[in-house]
Structure 1
Amino acid sequence: MSRVRIRLVTAVLAAALAVGAPSAVAYAAPAARQQARHLQSAETIRQIPLQGAVNVRDLGGYRTYTGGRVRQGLVYRSDALSKLTAADITTVAALGLTKVVDFRIPMELQYDGADRLPAGLAPTSRPISDLGLYGTLVGAIATGDPVKQEQMLGGGRAEAYMRDIYRTFVTGPENRAQFAATVREIADAGQGPVLYHCTSGKDRTGWLSYVLLRSLAVPEGAAAEDYLASNTFRGAYDAQVRAGLKQSGRMQNPDLLIPLQEVRQDYLDAATAQIGADYGGFYGYLTEGLGLDLRTLAKLQAKLVR
């Protein structure tokens, strides 16, 4: 069997495993499962410590169903890089990045600023819709009115908003096209290390990371843990933001923002349920939704799994 055919078969098997194979962790007792997840996360999640960004990580290190491990040093996920210090830029330069993909929409760039990157590296703008979340958030804070803020974000409305956003990662043709273009670039054997990011590095970035890991046959539980880890990396920073808003008088109850600041399993579940409804499963989302052919999936495996 030719090497190309072997890779194609591997991709098919990996996708099937990513969809249907049971995780050993998933069948453990609750206490054991929690401990196993903690140990797995401690072993595999590698943060890149920076002063101007708090959620920068190497996506490598995870074990796969096929007995491999995702290579480190090839794919990075991040929050916005607009506040990097000179020392941060030196650290980022050492990663050897050849491409930075920015999923932020124009309004986010307007408020937060463009990425600060090493010389010779320019971001590729690939905006993915947030369903107006950023504008809603800015508008809610700008009112300074606790009644309006409660009306806009309270009573489960913020959580519902987030679930709607995640569904559009699956239903939105333009969103799917942006994610797919990034996956194809990552799969390209001639493409060096890639970093992709949004504002907080947790939703659009978190979803693509989840998709990538599952397409590489990383167990669903481990891919979900990588997604949920944003709460750990962003927790202290987000709490400072809420404290600052309360101290400034702009929000009486800044805890209204918590559902928007956090990642949650039910947000992820909203997207995966949409995958089931629209494509019958994860493999259908990869091939029909994102338009990734078997050769691309095989290239992804060959490049990113050792």
Structure 2
Amino acid sequence: MTRASSVAIAAVAVAGLTVGLLPAAANASASTSASAPPRAGASQRSVSPIHQVVLQGAVNVRDLGGYRTYDGAQVRYGLAYRADALNKATDPDLSTLARLGLREVVDFRVPLELQYDGPDRLPAGAAPTSRPVTDSGLYAQMLSAIGSKDPATQDVMLGHGRAEALMRTEYQAFVSDPAARVQFGATLKDLATSRGPVLFHCTSGKDRTGWESYVLLRAVGVPAATAEQDYLASNGFRAAADAGVRAGLKQAGIMQNPDLLIPLQEVRSDYLNAALAQLSSQYGDLYGYLTRGLGLTLKDLTALRTHLVP
């Protein structure tokens, strides 16, 4: 197999991490369908309410409304949505998304992800906004590891805690990288001023999207524990599709030990804590991060709260 072919296979496999879709040879062993609603895991049962937007081409699309704030108010439904990539949205999905009345769709994916996965498919009226946020080379690392098809190489690159370390590095960069802060801050400002619903997403809808969702909920007064539960809920929504990807990679002979991918497929409190530790080190507290880090003014924060919380 040529290097180009290996990279192509890896790219399709990594793209499959988003919705559980694989090449035909690998997909034959997958036991789940991307169109089937994900079964709620323990983390989802402990969070109420979570409103999923059920699509065929994405599995982690949710309304961020419904959460209670410290003062007993409730985040409005229908204004802020989080998602995984929409490049595989089907025609019925476009109809579903159109009913949300989206005004803007913010895409946090970097150019390499767009190169292999393709742009979003969006309904009319939803303006696409590209705001790439660093993944600290994680996507390229996964392409390289999977594309090698070599168990020893994959173990060296992802095993023995290395995958977890990659994830912690990525989360620290969400806070430390100046360009990432600009993109996250601009999206929060859009949410504060938009005349309609805004959706933001990355590839799997769990890391860059998970961090922005956590920060947004905290910024409008949702307690930290509740915001963390929303973050962790991605594991339940993604579990079946991600397990199907691992099974398919093994069946296709691409990975002997696809469980090496589990730390990359999951969200974990440890990863979130890496970002929060970086936040504390650089800015002291959440307010410092929102203002000095993301560039939000007190007026911006007031507008965000007023817009999202009645």
TM-score normalised by the shorter chain: which range applies? 0.7 to 0.9
**Quick check: 1:173 aligned with 2:178?**
yes
User: Quick one: distance in 2 between partners of 1:62 and 1:259?
Assistant: 28
User: Quick one: distance in 1 between partners of 2:200 and 2:65?
Assistant: 14
Question: What is aligned with 1:111?
Answer: 116
Question: What is aligned with 2:4?
Answer: none
**Quick check: 1:123 aligned with 2:128?**
yes
Change (3 A) 1:219 1:239: same
Question: What is aligned with 2:264?
Answer: 260
> 1:44, CA displacement in angstroms?
1.5
User: Quick one: distance in 1 between partners of 2:189 and 2:281?
Assistant: 25
Question: What is aligned with 2:301?
Answer: 297
Runs of 5+ consecutive residues of structure 1 not aligned to the other structure: 1-34
For residue 281 of structure 1, the aligned residue among 285, 297, 306 is 285
Question: What is aligned with 1:251?
Answer: 255
**Per-residue CA shift, 1:162-201, capped at 9, x if unaligned?**
001000111000000000000001001x431000000000
> 1:40, CA displacement in angstroms?
4.9
- The percent identity for this pair of structures is 63
How do 1:44-59 and structure 2 match up within 5 A? 44-59=49-64
SS at match of 1:178: helix
Question: What is aligned with 1:208?
Answer: 212
User: Quick one: distance in 1 between partners of 2:248 and 2:44?
Assistant: 31
What one-letter code is carried by the residue in structure 2 that aligns with 1:236? A
**Quick check: 1:238 aligned with 2:242?**
yes
Question: What is aligned with 1:191?
Answer: 195
> 1:69, CA displacement in angstroms?
0.3
Please give the root-mean-square deviation of Cα atoms over the aligned residues, in Å: 1.4
Question: What is aligned with 1:82?
Answer: 87
Question: What is aligned with 1:146?
Answer: 151
SS at match of 1:44: coil
Contact 2:136/2:170 (<8 A) preserved: yes
User: Quick one: distance in 1 between partners of 2:309 and 2:249?
Assistant: 44
Question: What is aligned with 1:158?
Answer: 163
Contact 1:61/1:72 (<8 A) preserved: yes
**Quick check: 1:135 aligned with 2:131?**
no
Change (3 A) 1:40 1:300: farther
Report the TM-score, using the length of structure 2 for normalisation: 0.85
SS at match of 2:68: coil
User: Quick one: distance in 2 between partners of 1:39 and 1:155?
Assistant: 32
User: Quick one: distance in 1 between partners of 2:113 and 2:107?
Assistant: 11
What one-letter code is carried by the residue in structure 1 that aligns with 2:292? E
Runs of 5+ consecutive residues of structure 2 not aligned to the other structure: 1-41
Question: What is aligned with 1:24?
Answer: none
Contact 2:103/2:125 (<8 A) preserved: no
> 1:291, CA displacement in angstroms?
1.2
**Quick check: 1:227 aligned with 2:231?**
yes
- How many pairs does the alignment contain? 270
- Structure 1 stretches of 4+ with a deviation exceeding 2 A read 37-40, 119-122
SS at match of 2:174: helix
> 1:77, CA displacement in angstroms?
0.2
